[in-house]
């Protein structure tokens, strides 16, 4: 099995740690996300940071959002102790939680049982917003990517117990894929397909197969943690690599229902009507049972 990580190596320390712990040595980086400053040059984030005392909760949906917030805090001349003492922190994701607790040395006051926005809003409203004895709505500051939708804000504000302020902490863009990267990725697919053909031929002739050599273990496992990552992947390979030629060895793995739906939409278009709609086995799609990187390998 080869795992394809659709983020840059420098943005995947937790992923690499999990892979190594699982004994997975074959992995390939195919970056589908790049990050830059928001269009306003951090103006909204800096302004919100300076008036952090007006908020009750600071919410980070990703490690990058947290990194951007604390980097800007230092950049504008502040220090961690300049944050209001009453300010609490909520996060989505174990990597974000670990960053806040171990690198920033701040406590995390709330983390949902599953790492997606739907569960976050439901549990936050039930466990936090409804239990705190306040006369006014809780004020939440959410630094986030500039391309995020407003569904989380709408959910959080639905009961009137929460007021959300969103600011752009960074901008997510599609990276340029080099000819070398595309060529390496195609060679990876070609080799996996060739190995599967050889293994299948041996099996037909009665050759004994070890567990590691079974066709299912020769899959190329593409992993996606965001809808934007999915969309960028298909835009990058469009006209470059025909995935339909590799449907026997490809597995698409996603975290959460939103990412899974985006993946279904994109693969239906990529393989055309005659593929996914004829048989679900043409293109293998998987959604992790839990919203965590570890769930990719369980």
194 and 262 assigned to the same domain? yes
* Ranges of the chain with pLDDT below 70: 132-135, 198-217, 269-282, 289-298
115 and 212 assigned to the same domain? no
212 and 159 assigned to the same domain? no
- For residue 228, what is the domain's CATH number? 3.40.50.10090
Name the domain boundary from 173, 204, 227. Answer: 173
Helix (H, G, I), strand (E, B) or coil at 201: helix
Q: How far is CA 168 from CA 66, 126, 140, 297, in A?
A: 12, 27, 14, 33
210 and 147 assigned to the same domain? no
CA distance 18 to 21: 5
41 and 166 assigned to the same domain? yes
261 and 202 assigned to the same domain? yes
DSSP for 187-200, written as a single string? HHHHHHHHHHHHHH
Name the domain boundary from 133, 149, 173. Answer: 173
286 and 205 assigned to the same domain? yes
Paired with 34 in beta bridges are 173
Query: pLDDT value at position 285?
Result: 83
Helix (H, G, I), strand (E, B) or coil at 49: helix
Number of structural domains the chain divides into = 2
Q: What's the domain range around 288?
A: 2-33+176-297
105 and 186 assigned to the same domain? no
Name the domain boundary from 157, 173, 189. Answer: 173
16 and 50 assigned to the same domain? no
233 and 164 assigned to the same domain? no
188 and 270 assigned to the same domain? yes
134 and 164 assigned to the same domain? yes
Question: What is the pTM (predicted TM-score) of this model?
Answer: 0.79
CA distance 168 to 142: 9
Is the CB of residue 52 less than 8 Å from the CB of residue 87? yes
Nearest residue to 213 via CA among 221, 223, 203: 203
Query: pLDDT value at position 203?
Result: 40
Place of tokens 């919203």: 291
């Amino acid at each position: 099995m080869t795992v394809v990580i659709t983020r840059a190596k420098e943005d995947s320390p937790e992923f690499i740690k999990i892979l190594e712990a699982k004994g997975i040595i074959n992995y390939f980086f195919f970056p589908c996300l790049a990050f830059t400053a928001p269009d306003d040059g951090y103006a909204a984030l800096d302004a919100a940071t300076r008036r952090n005392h007006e908020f009750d909760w600071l919410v980070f949906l990703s490690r990058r959002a947290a990194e951007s917030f604390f980097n800007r805090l230092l950049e504008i001349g502040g220090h961690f102790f300049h944050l209001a003492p009453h300010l609490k922190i909520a996060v989505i994701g174990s990597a974000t939680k670990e960053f806040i607790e171990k690198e920033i040395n701040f406590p995390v006051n709330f983390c949902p049982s599953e790492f997606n926005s739907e569960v976050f809003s439901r549990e936050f409203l039930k466990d936090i917003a409804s239990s705190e004895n306040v006369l006014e709505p809780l004020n939440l500051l959410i630094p986030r990517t500039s391309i995020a939708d407003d569904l989380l804000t709408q959910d959080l504000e639905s009961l009137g117990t929460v007021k959300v302020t969103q600011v752009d902490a960074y901008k997510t863009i599609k990276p340029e894929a080099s000819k070398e990267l595309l060529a390496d990725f195609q060679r990876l697919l070609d080799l996996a397909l060739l190995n599967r053909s050889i293994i299948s031929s041996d099996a037909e002739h009665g050759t004994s197969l070890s567990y590691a050599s079974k066709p299912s273990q020769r899959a190329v496992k593409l992993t996606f943690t965001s809808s934007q990552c999915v969309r960028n992947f298909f835009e990058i390979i469009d006209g470059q690599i025909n995935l339909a030629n590799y449907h026997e060895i490809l597995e698409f793995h996603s975290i959460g229902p939103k990412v899974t739906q985006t993946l279904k939409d994109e693969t239906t278009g990529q393989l055309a009507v005659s593929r996914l709609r004829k048989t679900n086995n043409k293109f293998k799609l998987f959604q992790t049972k839990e919203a965590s990187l570890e769930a990719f390998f369980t």
